Structures are given as structure tokens and as C-alpha cells.
Amino acid sequence: MTNTALWNRRKQALGPTYSHFYDEPINIVKGEGVWLYDEKGTKYLDCYNNVVSVGHCNPNVVKALSDQAATLNTHTRYLNENIVSLAEKLSSKFPAKLDTCIFVCTGTEANDLALQMATAITGNDGVLVNEAAYHGNSIIMGAMDERRKDFGEKKWLETFEPPNTYRVPEGTAESFAAEIDKGIQRLADKGTELAATMLDLSFDSNGILIPPEGYAQLVVDKTHAAGGLVICDEVQAGYCRLGDNWWGFEKYDIVPDIVTLGKPMGAGHPVAAVVTTREIASKFAEIDSYFNTFGGNPVSCAVASAVLDEIDNNELLKNVTEVGEHLRVGLDKLNDKYDFIGNIQGSGLFWGLDLVEDRVTKEPMHDDKLRHITTLLKDEGVMMGSTGRYDNILKIRPPLIFSKENADQALAAIDKVFSAL
């Protein structure tokens, strides 16, 4: 079967709703560690897929999945050890206050539940979300996504400008956080009070931003002062991704009210979670009931537990920190060499290269050029992505097991592709 034939069958069976990477989509048939393989055996270094956090087809995770699937898979209305031990193990990675877990199947479900909790508890329905943020694909989460269909004026929603210190160099923690005040005011002007501020502290969709010191705490304080809760969406920033800490919020020394986790917690298996305080979970249970049929099933819990063990046993937090620093040094060298790199931004194993037409005007590189770059990188056997409001930011976000050698290969590929532009 040629790729064209497969592609035609795909269009026939799946319709036009499915998008794909690369003008000539590739047929991926095998994954192993940081590697993906196409049908011809061509090997790609995966610098894009965060979901397979502990590597493609991690043998210990696959074993946990297979063993538990052969033993029992059912819901949480019976007792089962797996969900309890996973919750205990997961909670131990959080500040003591965040001691209560609720398991769901996807990051969308986690964010949707977190917002149900916030609206129920605060009695408000206003939501602040940063411009270009992605928190999922349910009706409500999709409504927060600026790239989706515009469903008209949303009385309950306002966006705030993210803290982009490259494009707003004069910005301070205070000036960026003032965007929260403005958002609260715009909600108030519509007669809406704040239920929650949704915060992805990697600012993934904005091209991985590092806010100024003190910014995150100001956001928390302003949100609380307005009667809202802070929901940290750690699908991107969590699970050691940013290095030095397990969670994005720890990097900025805050403790959110509710944390949401997504598919990296199952290395691709659909398992996700809400982690919150006992007080919030209890208040929510008094006001409302929530049940997720197979959220927290024994198989998903065995998988999520194996992922935590892999991170600990292989010291992947240390790896992310060290390889991330190695990557930063290499990226800085490229920054010196290519003047269409406007900024190198990120942390740990999550980096964005804000590419520009001109370093002075900072005009974003036109997105067809970045599409060309990611295609050339793929032809060099390296997979990277694109992101940002102008789709001009080259995104590097490999599995957590990425080595310095892998980083060197990725850097060399960027160098080669950039030098030929």
C-alpha cells in the first residue's frame, strides 16, 4: 500500500475534519524511545511529542498496561487497589495542600471538571484565559480557543495578554499581571464575576514564555481577590517538562487551587486527573455529583503509576534539567549565528525559537517559511513543530528521556536547515 493509497482511504473514511503534518504526510508505523519509524524504515528523532513522556513504547509502561488489561478493567464503583495507590503516589509529588485526586480520561475532561468545580464553589461563571491558550476540545474548552469557530460574544469569557518579555521588553511582572485586572474589569462590565483563571505556565501556545519573577503570584493574588480560583493546566508544563521541578507552578513558587493533568501522565494512554485540596473537593461534592465511567479504571491507573515509576527510577527530572541546559547552550549558539532567530525562549525540554523577518522590527517570520523549515527538518530525520499567535515559532518538545546526544543531533539538523535557507 503506497502512502497515496492510504491517504486516499483516510480521506474517504475520516472525511475532511482531520488535519495532518507536512504537505506529504508521513506514515508512521513504529515507535521506540525517542525514535519514530515510517513504513520504509526511515528513522525520525522525535523532538515534538510530549505525550509519550517516558518514550515511545516504554517497555515497563507497556508491561503494566498489558498485565493489568489481562487481569481486570472496570470502573471505580468497586474498590480497587490501583486507583488508591496511584492517587497516593501522585499526591506525594504535590505540595501537601493538594492532596485529593479525581481521575478522568483526557486533559479536556480534566479542565472541564476543574471549571465545573470552580463555578460550583465560587458561584460565579467568569473565566480568564490567556490569548491563544488551548485547554481542550469540549464545547466550553473549545469556546476558549481563539482558533476555533467564533460562537459570538461570550459573556463568561475574557482573554488576557500573556507575559511575552521578548515582544514586550518593557513589560514587568506588575504590568503583565495588570492584564488580569483588565480582564476582571471587562468581565465585570458584562455583569460577570470571576470563577477561575486558567493558567498554563509554559504558555505553550504562545511559544513557551518565561514570565518575570513575581508574575505568577500576582495572578494568583488578583484572581483570589476577585473571588476566583486558580486552575493550573499542567498538561504541558507538568511532569518535569520545564526541568528543576515536577510542575510548572513550582517553578514560580505558587500553589494553585486546582491542577489538571493530561495524557503525558499515561504516556499516550488516555488517563488524566484533577488534583486539588480536600476543601475544594469536599465543597464540590456537597454541591454537585460527578462520575466518570472509566476515569480511574485499574488499567489506566496501572499505566499512570508505571509512568511515575519510570520518571523516578530513571531520574528523568535530573535528565530534563541537564539535557535542557545542554540544549539551551546549543540554541544560544544558533542564536548568535542566524539573525532570523528573534528569541530563544523556554526551559527544560520545552523550547521555542521565535523566528522573525527582522530582528529590529521583530516582524514574525511568515508561516509558510516555518512550514518549509519543519519539512526540511523532517527530511533531515528530525521532527519539530510550530506554534504561536503568528505560527512563527519553532517548537522543540521531545520526550523526557531525550539525551545530550539526541540534543546534539537536533541542534545539528537545525543548523544545517537554517544555513541552507
Window 24 to 83, contacts with a second copy (CB under 8 A): 25-31, 36, 49, 51-52, 56-57, 59, 62, 65-66, 69-81, 83
Contact window for a second copy (CB under 8 A) among 84-92, 157-165, 217-225, 394-402: 84-92
Taking the complex as a whole, the smallest distance from the CB of residue 62 to a second copy amounts, in Å, to 5
Q: At what angle do helices 404-419 and 316-337 cross, to 10 degrees?
A: 20
Among 135, 222, 241, 269, binds a second copy (CB under 8 A): 269
Q: What are phi and psi of 33, to 5 degrees?
A: 60, -120
Nearby residues of 169 by Cβ (< 8 Å), 6 or more positions away: none
Alpha-carbon dihedral sign for residues 221, 226, 229, 235: negative
Does 105 engage in binding with a second copy (CB under 8 A)?
yes
Which residues are bridge partners to 102 per DSSP?
274
For a second copy (CB under 8 A), the number of binding residues is 98
Our CB check for a second copy shows the closer of 284 and 402 to be 284
Taking the complex as a whole, the smallest distance from the CB of residue 285 to a second copy amounts, in Å, to 4
Does 387 engage in binding with a second copy (CB under 8 A)?
no
Residues 113-132 that bind a second copy (CB under 8 A): 113, 115-116, 119-120
Contact window for a second copy (CB under 8 A) among 1-9, 183-191, 350-358, 363-371: 1-9
Binding mask 150-169 for a second copy (x = CB under 8 A): -x------------------
Cell triple for 301: 491507573
- 76-85 long-range contacts (CB < 8 A, ≥24 apart) are 76/103, 76/295, 76/296, 76/297, 80/298, 80/301, 82/298, 82/301, 82/302, 82/305, 83/296, 83/297, 83/298, 83/301, 85/301, 85/305
Does 212 engage in binding with a second copy (CB under 8 A)?
no
Order of strands across the sheet with 258-261?
100-104, 272-276, 258-261, 229-233, 194-199, 126-130, 157-160
Our CB check for a second copy shows the closer of 306 and 331 to be 306
Taking the complex as a whole, the smallest distance from the CB of residue 262 to a second copy amounts, in Å, to 8
Among 292, 335, 403, 409, binds a second copy (CB under 8 A): 292
Does 178 engage in binding with a second copy (CB under 8 A)?
no
Our CB check for a second copy shows the closer of 167 and 269 to be 269
Cell triple for 82: 490501583
Taking the complex as a whole, the smallest distance from the CB of residue 132 to a second copy amounts, in Å, to 14
Q: How far apart are CA 179 and CA 176, in angstroms?
A: 6
Does 284 engage in binding with a second copy (CB under 8 A)?
yes
Cell triple for 11: 480521506
